[in-house]
Chain A
Amino acid sequence: MAYPSPPSPLRRGWSLWTLALRRARAAAGRVVAIWRRSIQFRVVSTTLVLSAAVMVLLGIVVVGQVQGGLLDAKVSSATAQAQGGFQVARQQASALAAEAGRQPAPTGTGSAPDTGGFDVKDWLTGLVDQLSSGGKGQYDVAVLSPDATANTQDTRWGPRSSGNVLADLSVPRDLRTEVGRHSGAAYQFTRIVRESTEPGGGRTSTKGVVVGAQLSDPQGNHYQLYYFFPFTPEEKTLGLVRGTLATAGVFLVLLLVAIAALVTRQVVTPVRMAARIAERLAAGRLEERMRPNGEDDLARLGSSFNKMASTLQNKIRQLEDLSRMQRRFVSDVSHELRTPLTTVRMAADVLHEARGNFDPAVSRSAELLQTQLDRFEALLSDLLEISRFDAGAAVLESDALDLRDLVGRVVDAAEPLAERRGSRIVVADPGRPCVAEVDPRRIDRVLRNLVVNAVEHGEGRDVVVTVGVNDDAVAVTVRDYGVGLKPGESSLVFNRFWRADPARARTTGGTGLGLSIALEDTHLHGGWLQAWGEPGGGSQFRLTLPRAHGGELVRSPLPLEPPDSRANRGLHLAGTPYRRAGGPPGTQGTGTPPAGPPASNGGSARPGDVPRGLPGGGAPATYKTYPTKEGGGR
């Protein structure tokens, strides 16, 4: 990408040019795209180009032949006409010469022949007039004195010509010398130059053939007689042929193109229909079908397409049924397990109460049984919650409340755990109300999950909870300074039963479903739940919620990447730009440094991990993931 040039008048022309170039390129791109996408366009344009090429070729050949024929005919008729004229001129000259011979020197004393009352110039003018009068508009006649080299002063006179032909310029030098050298006639193609009769003057020139011969005037002096035949009628005929051919060619090409378009249209239309139907099928509208017309190949294509579509539809329906069955199975299993679990629980409670009476090994087993039962119960309730989400049965009961209160309650509840871990929970308050329409139970659950996770993975360091608000949204970030997340993990943390290290057994508490449920809760609100982390630098989770129920989120009031991240402090990969989280959660790369993380110094944040040494709450809480004063949100 070129950097935008600074606006300068000198560059404006250039930028206009580049704009035009870009437009042209865009148009060419569109054409290429149509070429690639449309068979019809391809066939029609190929037909157009090929048939036009053939027509042009044909036109060139035909016009060439006609032109040759016309030229031959013109030359033969011109030479015949000119020969006749030369004959007339010879006869006149000899008759006059004979007459002059019979009456020698009428004035008696004249030594020069032209003093005898006979004027060669007038005779030549008259000759030109006479010879040209037969072919006004078809040919012109001129006489020239012989070549200047053979010219004596006595026989010098100006050229005479009809039709305003400038004979000096129209007769080529070569022809003049050739005509002067031998007695026969000669011809040459040339441009006939005429003086224009228009008031403006000037010269016009037409192509033509000039035929000439050197003859003798009655006094025996040489002169050259030329006939000029313009090609005007031939050019007119040729133009007519050319025009006719061009018209016929255009019509023929149009006909071919129309035929090609018609044929391909007949073929392509069903194919296009099939493509359209296939697109709809792909979009999930499985009931779409083609309408086969007739019994030809294309109709067969349509019917087999329809068959394929029905088969696909059946398969997909089967799979859907299967998946629904499985979900119900999970939900049913969870429900069915609760009743025996209650019994087991009661028995285990009895055992646990009486553990003081057992020998240490048995007592230890009883304790173990108690904790594992707690976990099992929590897992079961999480599975139920998840299956409720999967079934689409989760209902939002929203209420306008200040998020700061909610945060305070959650933090208060987490204080004991933090103390046990040796960390403090710091709350950063924007100092103004952060009222939003939320379901308090669900948001409480989400926040508790985040805070407890942070404390669990905070490795004894502080946990910072920040509340932010803007016109459209409220946000809460929970920052810890634990092991953090490896690149790419920030999107995985929300997966069900996800573990940072699959090899490690799930020894710590937590069901592995907490963050999944939090994410589903957030989605239910139309909000975002996003994670950021860096290896060894801790992690931050951000919850963004629209202030009004159903509102559209555009941006979060708080950044996802904390300002004290390594990147932001310039410690690590300073060039990596900060990217604000914009899309739906879980799909975006966050501000995680993409490359060169330091060697893993232990486990990263594991969402859903339950802190060890969790005091067993007595109540059958749905969310035993979190140590809560209330002991569950229900």
Chain B
Amino acid sequence: MSANRVPRRPHRAQSGLGRALRAGAAAASLVLLGACASMPGSGKVEDVTRGNESQAEDQPVRVFGVPPQRDESPKNLVDGFLEAVTSDEPEYQTARKYLTPEAAARWNPTSGIKVVESFPGTISHPVAPEGAAATVVDVTGQQVASVDGEMAYQPSPAQLAETFELRRNGDGQWRIDKLPDGLLLSRADFRRIYKSVSLYWYASPWNTPLLVPDPIYLRSRVTPTTTLVEKLLKGPTKWLSPVVRSSFPLNTSLVDRAVNVDDTGAVSIQLSDEAKQAPAAQCLEMASQVLYTLGQVTKVESVELTTHRGPKLCSQSKQGAQQFDPALPQTTPVGYYVAKGAVNSLAANSTQPAPLPGPFGDGSLKLSEIAVARQGRQIAGIDQSDTTLYVGLLDSVAGVEERARAGSGRTFLSPTWDGRGGLWTVERNSSSGATRVLWVDKEGTIPVTLEGFGESKVTGLRISPDGTRAALLLDERHLVTGRVIRGVDPVRKVVSTVTIDAPRVLLPNLVSAKSVSWNGANRLVVLGTQEQGSMQPQFVDVDGGNTVGIAAVSGIEAIAAPDGADQPLLARSSDRNIYRLEPGNTWKAIREGEYPTYPG
């Protein structure tokens, strides 16, 4: 025993020391833990993620309609009906309780929406004699816009006058017997219930695909992934359909009516067998359409297309789809402006402009208006006499050519590039003021036919990145979008005629408009004055459905926007200064200069 103990002693002493050390470490960690168990008084800077916020944004205020009470007056009945319509029920169950059974069966709420300035406008009805079996209620108001059955928005100011015919039912209660199809909504209710989502198509007639947004309005309460894909399979809205195509083969349909988006943002869609006809490249285009469309309402990282019980057709990632985006925002957009006849470039993250190399940058061309192409590093400029249109390369000394020269008594203005290297400009007759739009291609100049524009003079022109829409300023007052239809010569396979037609007035209440610029493919920035307002830049959706005002700088004369939504705008003031919109909605003077522009 004791013989055993003697050699053990040193070991035991060692383990005792180890135990003491371990106890010390445990005590130290306990103290540390105790320190952790209180609220922090300092820390490093952390970014606030936007995940929760966007989730909460999807929950607008809801109005819950009340069914008709007993012995309601005709006016209150119509009033209650108009309110019940705003309660955003899928089948308008409550609203239908205000109707006679026949009217409820007849009424088609999805045929369109009339958006009214405010509700109730005026509801009036002739006092019906006591005990009368039928009466009429008139609803009048100021209509500001309409939404058609395809849910495409269009500003259409008009005087609203709708008639509701009422009849007493068997119970002696008033019920609506005849009413206009569709919905009547106030502007606020419309904003609350619907939100704008774009379907994406490809510009036609080109073969190289460029994505074109096609904004429609959908109910905001339900995440409309399946609806969107179904609409994508159905085809573009009427207005846009002549200038776009869909990559989906005709009659393709969803197989199980369910579009699943998993947590990682992977979408998988089962298509009917028609989709098998599409070759691989076309399939990638289809997937990109889906990806861009769904990407607006939910996080989408990749799209996989399959057929029912068939093999995987193709799968497209977000990066892969971006090759089809003509308005892909650059991380640091570079703006350009003219100073003393020379072009300077200004990166978004710098305050140090740099002159371009070559004749464009050294002032030898004496430019007044410029346009930078989105692709091909091309730049176009009009000299100070407004008669010559030069085209050159951004970063090369050589290659300057004189693309076009205005006829006598005519001047050029507002050059602009579409997303495919096509250069556009407006030619103005100095004496009469009449204008025409020109497509100034390398091969020759094609005069553009304007259909439906009347005698209006074009004072500004910007072609959308995808080249399917033109934003025009008419008579320095109206902001109009038109679709760009290109006629292809069947023999030479080149564009032979160009037409801008079907104009839509975006901001009907503008009284003057000075400058316009595309901000991405589905938004414009316009500098103008509204009724009872001052000169102010504002964002406006390409369908006119939504406008957001921006702070103005005093004496603002021109505005330019890059493709990214949150990227800085450039402006010029009347004192010939270039301003940039800094974060926090403040304008900062950069340099003296004129004609700020971004590619486009």
B119 touches A162 (CB 8 A): no
Hey, which chain B residues are within 8 Å of A197, CB to CB? 58-59, 221-223
One of B61, B72, B80, B119 near A160 (C-beta < 8 A): B61
Counting CB contacts under 8 A, is B52 at the interface?
yes
B52 touches A137 (CB 8 A): yes
Hey, which chain A residues are within 8 Å of B520, CB to CB? none
Give complex CA distance A526, B291 in Å: 96
Stretch at the interface among B185-193, B358-366, B415-423, B541-549: B185-193
Hey, which chain A residues are within 8 Å of B118, CB to CB? 117, 119, 122
Give complex CA distance A156, B57 in Å: 29
Within 8 A of B (CB), among A477-526: none
One of A158, A166, A199 near B63 (C-beta < 8 A): A158
B73 touches A153 (CB 8 A): yes
Chain B residue, CB-CB nearest to A115: B122
Counting CB contacts under 8 A, is A168 at the interface?
yes
Counting CB contacts under 8 A, is B64 at the interface?
yes
Q: How far is the CB of A243 from chain B (nearest CB, A)?
A: 16
One of A114, A125, A126, A128 near B120 (C-beta < 8 A): A114
Contacts beyond the supplied A119-B120, A156-B80, A158-B63: 20 A-B pairs with Cβ under 8 Å = A119-B119, A122-B186, A125-B61, A125-B63, A126-B188, A129-B60, A137-B52, A153-B73, A153-B76, A156-B66, A156-B69, A158-B65, A160-B61, A160-B62, A160-B63, A160-B64, A164-B62, A167-B64, A168-B64, A195-B62
- Over the window 428-457 of chain B, the binary record of Cβ atoms lying under 8 Å from chain A Cβ atoms (1 yes, 0 no) is 000000000000000000000000000000
Hey, which chain A residues are within 8 Å of B72, CB to CB? 153
Q: How far is the CB of B124 from chain A (nearest CB, A)?
A: 9
- Over the window 20-60 of chain B, the binary record of Cβ atoms lying under 8 Å from chain A Cβ atoms (1 yes, 0 no) is 00000000000000000000000000000000110111111
Counting CB contacts under 8 A, is B87 at the interface?
yes
Contact of A156 with B76 at beta-carbon distance under 8 Å, contacts A126-B188, A162-B61, A197-B222 already known:
yes
Within 8 A of B (CB), among A109-161: 114-115, 117, 119, 121-122, 125-126, 128-129, 132, 136-137, 153-154, 156-161
Give complex CA distance A110, B192 in Å: 29
Counting CB contacts under 8 A, is B84 at the interface?
yes
**A and B contact pairs by CB, cutoff 8 A, 30 listed:** A115-B122, A119-B119, A119-B186, A121-B119, A125-B63, A125-B188, A125-B189, A125-B192, A129-B61, A132-B61, A136-B56, A136-B57, A136-B59, A137-B52, A137-B56, A153-B76, A156-B80, A158-B63, A158-B64, A158-B87, A160-B63, A160-B64, A161-B62, A162-B61, A162-B62, A164-B59, A167-B64, A197-B59, A197-B222, A199-B222
Chain B residue, CB-CB nearest to A141: B61
Interface core residue of B55, B59, B84, B188 (most chain A CB under 10 Å): B59
Chain A residue, CB-CB nearest to B186: A122
Hey, which chain A residues are within 8 Å of B369, CB to CB? none
Q: How far is the CB of A70 from chain B (nearest CB, A)?
A: 16
One of B57, B73, B83, B122 near A158 (C-beta < 8 A): B83
A121 touches B59 (CB 8 A): no
Hey, which chain B residues are within 8 Å of A122, CB to CB? 118-119, 186, 188-189
A166 touches B73 (CB 8 A): no
Counting CB contacts under 8 A, is A163 at the interface?
yes
- The list of the 8 closest CB pairs from A to B, nearest first, reads A136-B56, A158-B66, A129-B61, A128-B61, A158-B64, A159-B64, A158-B65, A162-B61
Hey, which chain A residues are within 8 Å of B69, CB to CB? 153, 156
Residues of A within 8 A of B (CB): 114-115, 117, 119, 121-122, 125-126, 128-129, 132, 136-137, 153-154, 156-164, 166-168, 195, 197, 199
Contact of A162 with B59 at beta-carbon distance under 8 Å, contacts A115-B122, A197-B221 already known:
yes
Q: How far is the CB of A240 from chain B (nearest CB, A)?
A: 13
Within 8 A of A (CB), among B95-148: 118-120, 122
Contact of A154 with B76 at beta-carbon distance under 8 Å, contacts A117-B118, A136-B57, A167-B64 already known:
yes
Q: How far is the CB of A126 from chain B (nearest CB, A)?
A: 7
Q: How far is the CB of A417 from chain B (nearest CB, A)?
A: 76
- Over the window 70-88 of chain B, the binary record of Cβ atoms lying under 8 Å from chain A Cβ atoms (1 yes, 0 no) is 0011001000100110010
Q: How far is the CB of B19 from chain A (nearest CB, A)?
A: 16
Hey, which chain A residues are within 8 Å of B192, CB to CB? 125, 129
Q: How far is the CB of B444 from chain A (nearest CB, A)?
A: 56
Q: How far is the CB of A99 from chain B (nearest CB, A)?
A: 16
Hey, which chain A residues are within 8 Å of B222, CB to CB? 197, 199
One of A121, A154, A161, A195 near B83 (C-beta < 8 A): A121
Chain A residue, CB-CB nearest to B226: A199
Chain A residue, CB-CB nearest to B56: A136
